[in-house]
């Protein structure tokens, strides 16, 4: 942590990137650190490999995220990532070292590849936002309402609204502190969860229609094809914000919930969720992905049918 603080203090210009298909924790922790660094007079540029879903428009700096291509000609003192488990997930078209002198990697994924020059990983943290709050405290920056809002979005979304097993007393203590900074939790959850486009809900309907339960494998899974997206008019980002895969895990008596989502011809995104007995990070890692014990994913270069067969054989004892 001392090295993290030293690296941030030493940099005058910083570029920060979200991870692919950015979630609330990627955006929240990144925005909070960016705001804190600006309070210290630093020049911070924000990039994203994929568009930031509109549900996160309540996060300060939401408007500022630009594609990597727009910083192609620039060089920064520091390239900093929060919540990004591996270098490929930054989506940067060139090696990260071509954008800056040093690379900082702060995260809570146990499967983090430890890329970069300064690395801080705390798998005990329920969200990268928890680590970001510690960094901001150590930088000596006050957590004002704006920073609190960014951190809260990260913490609230990555703990599934403080429901997931990774949630700790520290998560709740941080939440209390953030609410004390002037946040209204009801307003924030309404902004996050009750502004869904009808197209997204129609897609959820298609996902629920596709539900398959394999009691022999202790698996429930849903499948979304490119045709489902075309029919409903929903976007890939809706899958994340609706928590589609969580519905598969809800099935009584099964241990693992999964989602297969066709991203394009010959490319399928697999999401895995576990109730606790199965380490899905290990399963995802065996397919070139990663994540946490209870939430993991991988991108598979195959057809939807092949991906379904791969999933079933993955769970076969």
The helix/strand/coil state of 302 is coil
Report, in Å, the least distance between residue 287 CB and ligand 5GP: 9
User: What mask of x and - would describe binding to Mn ion in positions 82 to 121, judged by CB under 5 A?
Assistant: -x--------------------------------------
> Does residue 103 interact with ligand 5GP by CB under 6 A?
no
Select the binding partner of residue 53 from ligand 5GP, Mn ion, none (C-beta < 5 to 8 A, by kind). none
Find which of ligand 5GP, Mn ion, none residue 85 binds, CB within 5 to 8 Å per kind: ligand 5GP
Q: What is the DSSP string of 82-121?
A: ES--SGGGG--SS-GGGTEEEEEEEE--TT----SSEEEE
Among 138, 212, 299, 303, binds ligand 5GP (CB under 6 A): 299
Structure tokens at 14: 């910083």
Nearest to 219 by CA among 85, 78, 316: 316
C-alpha distances in Å from residue 210, one per residue of 17, 24, 288: 35, 27, 26
Q: Cα separation of 151 and 291, whole Å? A: 21
First-to-last CA distance in the chain?
41
Residue 222 · residue 243 · CB < 8 Å: no
Helices 145-158 and 185-193 cross at an angle (nearest 10°) of: 60
298 near ligand 5GP (CB under 6 A):
yes
* Segment contacting ligand 5GP by CB under 6 A, of 201-209, 216-224, 292-300, 301-309: 292-300
Taking contact as CB under 6 A, which single stretch among the options 196-204, 228-236, 248-256, 283-291 is the one that binds ligand 5GP? 283-291
Closest CA to 105 of 131, 85, 135: 85
Which residue in 204, 207, 289, 300 binds ligand 5GP (CB under 6 A)?
289
Instruction: Establish if 111 lies at the interface with ligand 5GP (CB under 6 A).
Output: yes
Q: Tell me, what DSSP letter sits at residue 9?
A: H
Nearer to Mn ion, 23 or 308 (CB): 23
> Minimal CA–CA distance to 103: which of 87, 123, 89, 125?
87
Q: Judged by CB under 6 A, which stretch of 38-46, 249-257, 290-298, 301-309 contacts ligand 5GP?
A: 290-298
110 binds ligand 5GP (CB under 6 A): no
Q: In whole angstroms, give the CA distance from residue 106 to residue 131.
A: 8
Binding part of the chain for ligand 5GP, among 69-77, 119-127, 163-171, 288-296 by CB under 6 A, reads 288-296
Tokens of 10: 């030493």
Which one of Mn ion, ligand 5GP, none is in contact with 289 (Cβ closer than 5 to 8 A by kind)?
ligand 5GP
Answer for which of 31, 143, 291, 294 binds ligand 5GP (CB under 6 A) is 291
Question: Would you say 84 and 92 are in contact if contact means Cβ atoms under 8 Å apart?
Answer: no
Residue 80 contacts which entry, Mn ion, ligand 5GP, none (Cβ below 5-8 A, type-dependent): none
Decide which of ligand 5GP, Mn ion, none touches 280; Cβ closer than 5 to 8 Å per partner kind.
Answer: none
Longest dimension (CA), the chain: 58
Interaction pattern, residues 10-49, with Mn ion; x per rule: CB under 5 A: -------------x-xx-----------------------
Measured CA to CA, the distance from residue 15 to residue 113 in angstroms comes to 20
Q: Which residues bind ligand 5GP (CB under 6 A)?
A: 85-86, 109, 111, 271, 289-292, 295-299
């Amino acid at each position: 942590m001392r090295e993290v603080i030293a690296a941030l203090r030493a940099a005058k210009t910083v570029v920060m990137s979200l991870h692919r298909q950015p979630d609330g924790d990627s955006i929240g922790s990144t925005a909070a650190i960016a705001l804190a660094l600006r309070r210290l007079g630093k020049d911070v540029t924000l990039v994203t490999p994929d568009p930031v879903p509109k549900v996160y428009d309540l996060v300060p700096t939401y408007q500022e995220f630009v594609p990597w291509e727009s910083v192609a000609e620039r060089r920064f003192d520091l390239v900093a990532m929060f919540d990004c488990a591996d270098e490929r997930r930054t989506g940067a078209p060139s090696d990260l070292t071509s954008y800056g002198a040093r690379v900082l990697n702060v995260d809570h994924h146990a499967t983090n590849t430890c890329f970069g020059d300064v690395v801080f990983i705390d798998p005990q943290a329920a969200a990268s936002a928890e680590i970001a709050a510690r960094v901001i405290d150590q930088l000596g920056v006050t957590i004002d309402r704006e920073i609190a809002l960014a951190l809260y979005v990260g913490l609230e979304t990555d703990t599934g609204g403080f429901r997931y097993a990774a949630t700790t007393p520290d998560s709740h203590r941080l939440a209390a502190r953030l609410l004390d900074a002037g946040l209204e939790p009801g307003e924030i959850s309404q902004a996050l969860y009750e502004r869904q486009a009808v197209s997204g809900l129609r897609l959820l309907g298609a996902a629920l229609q596709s539900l398959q339960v394999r009691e022999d494998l202790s698996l429930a899974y849903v499948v979304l094809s490119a045709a489902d997206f075309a029919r409903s008019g929903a976007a890939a980002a809706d899958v994340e914000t609706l928590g589609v895969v969580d519905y598969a895990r809800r099935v009584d008596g099964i241990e693992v919930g999964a989602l297969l989502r066709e991203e394009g011809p010959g490319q399928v995104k697999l999401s895995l969720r576990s109730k606790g007995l199965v380490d899905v990070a290990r399963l995802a890692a065996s397919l070139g992905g990663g994540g946490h014990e209870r939430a993991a994913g991988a991108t598979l270069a195959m057809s939807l049918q092949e991906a379904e067969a791969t999933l079933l054989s993955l769970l076969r004892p």
